[in-house]
Structures are given as C-alpha cells and as structure tokens.
Chain A
Amino acid sequence: MTDQVDNNSLDRAAVIEIVVAGVREALVLASPEAETTELTEETRLIGAGAVLDSLGLVTAVLEIEQRLADEHDLVVVLADERAMSQKHSPFRSVGALTDYVLRLAAENTHA
C-alpha cells in the first residue's frame, strides 16, 4: 500500500466545490438572488470587497464543516482560535479556505 487513504478521494477540486457550495448557501440565506452569483477561487470572503459579512461567514463555515463531515467523513473545526490567529487568514478567499481545509485534512490523516 503506497497510496495513502485520502478521505474518500478528497482532492482540491472536491474541496473547492464544497467551499463554494457552503459560501453560496450563506449568500442565498441573505438574498435569494445570490443563487447565480459567480464564485471562484479568488472570491474574497472577508475584508474589502468580500461577498460575506461576519454572519454570512459563520453560516458558510458551519455549512462547509457539515458537508465535509457528511460527504467525506472529514470532521474538522474551521473556525477556532487557531484559524483566527493564522498570519494569513484562511477566510480571506475561497482558495485560501480550500488550502486550509486540505491542510487540516492532511493532519487528520497523518495523526
């Protein structure tokens, strides 16, 4: 066995899909028209030009955690002191949050 068991084939594309779905869920909650808003890796989640406010971010993060658990049996806490104290916030963009998820997933696997 050389290949590591990778949380039910948790590749970057799959995580991006989940992050985008979670963000969209939060956006739609605030305004139903957001169903069609374009979301990319570069979409900013907090700070200037962000698509979400802090409440939206809370919802998005809970949603993403839920989907990771349901769809990939991956139990991670994305919003905690550790996330908040990162030099570069994992919440700055869809791409950054995706990388953060993958990092936590890797730690889970090797733990």
Chain B
Amino acid sequence: MSIQWLLDRMDQWRADPALARGKTATTYGDLVDRVNEWRARLDAQGMRQGQVVALRGDYTAQAVALLLALIDRGAIVVPLTEAAEVHREEFLEIAEVEVEIAFDADDRWSWQARPVSAVNQLTLQLREAQAPGLVLFSSGSTGKSKAALHNFTSLLEKFKTARQRMVTLTFLLLDHIGGINTLFYTLSNGGTVVSVSSRNPDVVCEAIARNRVEMLPTSPTFLNLLLISEAYKRHDLSSLRLVTYGTEVMPESTLQRIAEVFPGVKLQQTYGLSELGILRSKSRDNRSLWVKVGGEGFETRIVDGLLWVRAQSAMLGYLNAPSPFDAEGWMNTGDSVEVDGEYIRILGRKSEIINVGGQKIYPAEVESVLLQMSNVRDAVVVGEKNPITGQIVTARVNLFEPEEPAAFKKRLRAFCREKLATYKIPAKIEISGQEQYNARYKRMRRADPTP
C-alpha cells in the first residue's frame, strides 16, 4: 500500500541498524519482520482501513513497527506520548479514537477498543479516499490544543527522494511533526534512529557518544541547556556533523556560543509547522539566523511582514477548529519575518510581539541579551499590560546562584543599556524559581508563570 516503497527499501538494508535505544539495537531486517507480525496481528484483531488508532509509545522497535503497519493498513494514527499524558483524555476525545494501543517500558503492548465511532467530516473524507492519516496536536501554549489531520501519504511523499544516510538522534517525540519528520527521513535513507528516554543534556550527549550520532535535530532551549550544563565537555561528540534547531526563535547569543563550542559542525535552522510539515531550509552560514526556506512542494510569500506558506503536504484541516487556509490553500504562519533577497530571518510570533507605547519588541531579541549576562541560566520575556504605555517588557529570569533582587535588577539594567534601545529594556524583572520550558524544550511565554 502507501508505504510499500519504504518497506521495500528497508528490506534491502536488513543487516543495518535501524533503531538504537539504550543498549538495544534493532536492524532493518528485524523491523521489517516486526511490521509483518503487526500486519498479521491487525488482521487477527479485525483492524479495518480508516480506523482511528491511538499509538501510545516512543521510538521502540514495537511501536515504530506498529506505526508502519498502521500506515500500511490505511489507519488514521494518533501518536500519544508521555509528554502529553495530562491531555490524553482530551486528545482521545477530539480525535475520536476507536482503538488505543499502548506500549509499556518493556515494549509490551496492550490493545483497547473504545466504544466510539468517528463522525468527523474530515476523518470520513480521508476514510473515503482510503488514505492513511496522522493526527498531531498543537502544543497549545495559548488556548486549546488544535488537532491537525494529515493524509499520511502526502506527508511521506517527499521522503521518496534519496538523501543522506545518517545516524540521527530523535529529540522530538512521535507526537510532533519534527519527530515524525526525523523518523521517516532517517528510515527512508537507511540511517539509524537513536532515541533517548530523557532529554537531559548528559543523557543526550552520552547517547551521541555511544552511537556515534552524526545529526542532532533540537531546539534552541535545549542548546542553551547544553551550554549551561557543559555536558559537551564530558562526552565525546566528535561524530556530530550537523546540528539543526527549530520550533522557536534562536537567540543570537546562543547560536554564537554553539558555533564556538562546535567548530566543525554545520548548524542549520529548520522550519516547519504541524499544519504544513517541515520545509527544506538552508542557513546562510553557521553563525547566521538568515535562512532560505521552501523546497519541492512548498511555496512561500511574505504578506505585511508575515510568512505565508502553501504546501503539498499540508494537513486536510483541524478536527476541532476552522480551516486556517485561504481559498488558494495558503496559510498565514503567524511568524513575523525580515527579508533579505532569498533569505528570511524569523523574528517571532506576531502574537508575542510586545507593544510599548507603539514600539514593537520581539521577546527573542531581549532574551538573547539577557542570556549573555553572568549568573543568568535562562530568561523568558513577555509583554504585560500597563495603562501608561499599553504594555511593558517583563523579564523572568532563572539564576545559577541566588542574587539580591535589587542588585540583580540594577546589574541587568546596566547590562541592557549598552545593548538595547531603552524601550526594549525590561521594566519589570522577576527572578523565577521554576523552569520555563515545556516538555518539548520550548520556552513558554505565558502571561502567568504559575501553573
């Protein structure tokens, strides 16, 4: 069926390692055999084409084999992970999940039929087309999570083009467009998918060293943690050739430090959305935030400073929200960009722009400056309402060592005065005692820091 091309390819690499997790390695041959076992099991259980199936698991041999078997069967897959456990019931309901298959820590599975019959128009449409589906939930940092329904066949189309075979660490999980992208990119090219049970910098570095990982797709927040922890000094990371970063704006200061720490490694910005898939991208150079995005199947344009994208791999729509596409199929990404010829520079989410007396401020620019201060471990900048200037810039800062708040405030302001226009300097400065990133290692810029 729709992924026979991939299974055929995988069958040619039977002896090569496909997955590595902890001390367990799975060859392509083993993986293909497991896919066949799952096909038989799905038959035995009476799984039909078009059924909505939640897959709770990580990048283990069984879970990945099931994912492939479900696509082959034409099922609509809803990947669920530990990170989104609190939203599980809500997600099951929105996606109208009919069968839930869960894997435990030892990769043993359990099967549960739910008394549900999907009636969502988009789901039925996909079922009618006899195409496999994928449901991804937006992280929902603001408001309710939106469920994007994809035609899995369209999403996988681009992987038919042969690219580099690499040992790649999957930083993002199966329930994220970035995780799905990494998994299929790697499997389509005969690479090895290395997964970790925790995103702790030392755990990640240890896995890189043990498996001689060549590519690390990650987020700016994780790279900042990597620098802070100095875990890169404790492990042999000489195998790394490519580090990619995306999902949020990279602070300039973090990029420069990463470039210093990894001189021989190519640094590459990525760009994608759960609604559209991952675009091909090319950074101008290792130290540059300017990037070209697009590639086959993607068109881009800038309207009023915002990036719009039209993608062949775009989702069919949201299961629980109006379509974000215009009549021609374009979607406003909500990302503010600067343009220089073919290159763009992503400034931030339009919704996160802070407006101080008519002057616009992007949180990432201020965060980048704060991260250069001594004793600052992390910094999140948000806008707060104020009757005098409309909004003010508020900085929430995590420190390494305790510091007297008034003295810290003075020091921060003196530091910023040399690097930022006055209106960008945080008016309100809070020292935070809790981490300010989510399970996907993305900074949270919520108005209210307390959960």
Residue ranges of A at the interface with B (Cβ–Cβ < 8 Å)? 29-30, 54-55, 57-59, 61-62, 70, 79-81, 83-84
What CA separation (Å) do A70 and B406 show in the bound complex? 10
Among the stretches B139-147, B207-215, B383-391, the one at the interface with A is B383-391
Which 9 pairs, one residue from A and one from B, show the smallest C-beta to C-beta distance? Answer: A84-B387, A58-B427, A58-B388, A59-B427, A54-B389, A79-B387, A29-B413, A58-B389, A79-B388
Q: Is the CB of B387 within 8 A of A55?
A: no
A62 and B427 in contact, given A30-B422, A54-B357, A55-B357 (Cβ under 8 angstroms):
yes
Q: Is the CB of B387 within 8 A of A83?
A: yes
A57 and B425 in contact, given A29-B413, A29-B417 (Cβ under 8 angstroms):
no
Residue ranges of B at the interface with A (Cβ–Cβ < 8 Å)? 356-357, 386-389, 392, 406, 413, 417, 422-423, 425, 427-428
Apart from the given pairs A30-B422, A55-B389, A84-B388, 4 other A-B contacts in the complex at a CB distance below 8 Å: A54-B389, A55-B427, A58-B427, A80-B387
Interface centre among A55, A59, A62 (most CB of B within 10 A): A55
Q: List 22 A-B contacts (CB under 8 A).
A: A29-B417, A29-B425, A30-B422, A54-B388, A54-B389, A55-B356, A55-B357, A55-B423, A55-B427, A57-B388, A58-B386, A58-B392, A58-B427, A59-B427, A62-B427, A62-B428, A70-B406, A79-B386, A79-B387, A80-B387, A83-B387, A84-B387
A81 and B422 in contact, given A29-B417, A59-B427 (Cβ under 8 angstroms):
no
Q: Which residues of B contact A59 (CB under 8 A)?
A: 427
Expressed in whole angstroms, the minimum distance between the Cβ of B53 and any Cβ of chain A is 52
Cβ-Cβ contact count across A and B, 8 Å cutoff: 34
Expressed in whole angstroms, the minimum distance between the Cβ of A92 and any Cβ of chain B is 13
Interface centre among B357, B388, B413, B428 (most CB of A within 10 A): B388
What CA separation (Å) do A59 and B412 show in the bound complex? 14
Expressed in whole angstroms, the minimum distance between the Cβ of B405 and any Cβ of chain A is 9
What CA separation (Å) do A54 and B425 show in the bound complex? 14
Q: Is the CB of A55 within 8 A of B428?
A: no
What CA separation (Å) do A102 and B222 show in the bound complex? 48
What CA separation (Å) do A84 and B388 show in the bound complex? 8
Q: Which residues of B contact A57 (CB under 8 A)?
A: 388
What CA separation (Å) do A81 and B422 show in the bound complex? 25
Q: Which residues of A contact B389 (CB under 8 A)?
A: 54-55, 58
Expressed in whole angstroms, the minimum distance between the Cβ of A89 and any Cβ of chain B is 11
What CA separation (Å) do A58 and B413 show in the bound complex? 14
What CA separation (Å) do A80 and B386 show in the bound complex? 7
What CA separation (Å) do A62 and B422 show in the bound complex? 16
What CA separation (Å) do A80 and B387 show in the bound complex? 6
Expressed in whole angstroms, the minimum distance between the Cβ of B167 and any Cβ of chain A is 51
What CA separation (Å) do A96 and B427 show in the bound complex? 23
Interface centre among A54, A58, A81 (most CB of B within 10 A): A58
Expressed in whole angstroms, the minimum distance between the Cβ of A5 and any Cβ of chain B is 26
Expressed in whole angstroms, the minimum distance between the Cβ of B325 and any Cβ of chain A is 40
Q: Which residues of B contact A55 (CB under 8 A)?
A: 356-357, 389, 422-423, 427
Q: Which residues of B contact A83 (CB under 8 A)?
A: 387
Q: Which residues of A contact B413 (CB under 8 A)?
A: 29
Q: Which residues of B contact A54 (CB under 8 A)?
A: 357, 388-389
Q: Which residues of A contact B422 (CB under 8 A)?
A: 29-30, 55
Expressed in whole angstroms, the minimum distance between the Cβ of B270 and any Cβ of chain A is 37
Q: Which residues of B contact A79 (CB under 8 A)?
A: 386-388
Q: Which residues of B contact A30 (CB under 8 A)?
A: 422
What CA separation (Å) do A58 and B439 show in the bound complex? 35
Q: Which residues of B contact A61 (CB under 8 A)?
A: 388
Closest to A84 in B: B387
Q: Which residues of B contact A70 (CB under 8 A)?
A: 406
Expressed in whole angstroms, the minimum distance between the Cβ of B414 and any Cβ of chain A is 9
Expressed in whole angstroms, the minimum distance between the Cβ of A100 and any Cβ of chain B is 14
What CA separation (Å) do A2 and B314 show in the bound complex? 74
Q: Which residues of A contact B388 (CB under 8 A)?
A: 54, 57-58, 61, 79, 84
Q: Which residues of A contact B392 (CB under 8 A)?
A: 58, 62
Q: Which residues of B contact A29 (CB under 8 A)?
A: 413, 417, 422, 425
Closest to B357 in A: A54
Q: Which residues of B contact A62 (CB under 8 A)?
A: 392, 427-428
Expressed in whole angstroms, the minimum distance between the Cβ of B5 and any Cβ of chain A is 60
Q: Which residues of A contact B417 (CB under 8 A)?
A: 29
What CA separation (Å) do A110 and B427 show in the bound complex? 31
What CA separation (Å) do A81 and B390 show in the bound complex? 11
Q: Which residues of B contact A81 (CB under 8 A)?
A: 387
Q: Which residues of A contact B386 (CB under 8 A)?
A: 58, 79
Q: Which residues of B contact A58 (CB under 8 A)?
A: 386, 388-389, 392, 427
Expressed in whole angstroms, the minimum distance between the Cβ of B351 and any Cβ of chain A is 22
Q: Which residues of A contact B387 (CB under 8 A)?
A: 79-81, 83-84
Expressed in whole angstroms, the minimum distance between the Cβ of A82 and any Cβ of chain B is 9
Q: Which residues of B contact A84 (CB under 8 A)?
A: 387-388
Expressed in whole angstroms, the minimum distance between the Cβ of B424 and any Cβ of chain A is 10
What CA separation (Å) do A80 and B413 show in the bound complex? 24
Q: Which residues of A contact B425 (CB under 8 A)?
A: 29
What CA separation (Å) do A62 and B423 show in the bound complex? 15
What CA separation (Å) do A55 and B425 show in the bound complex? 10
What CA separation (Å) do A54 and B389 show in the bound complex? 7
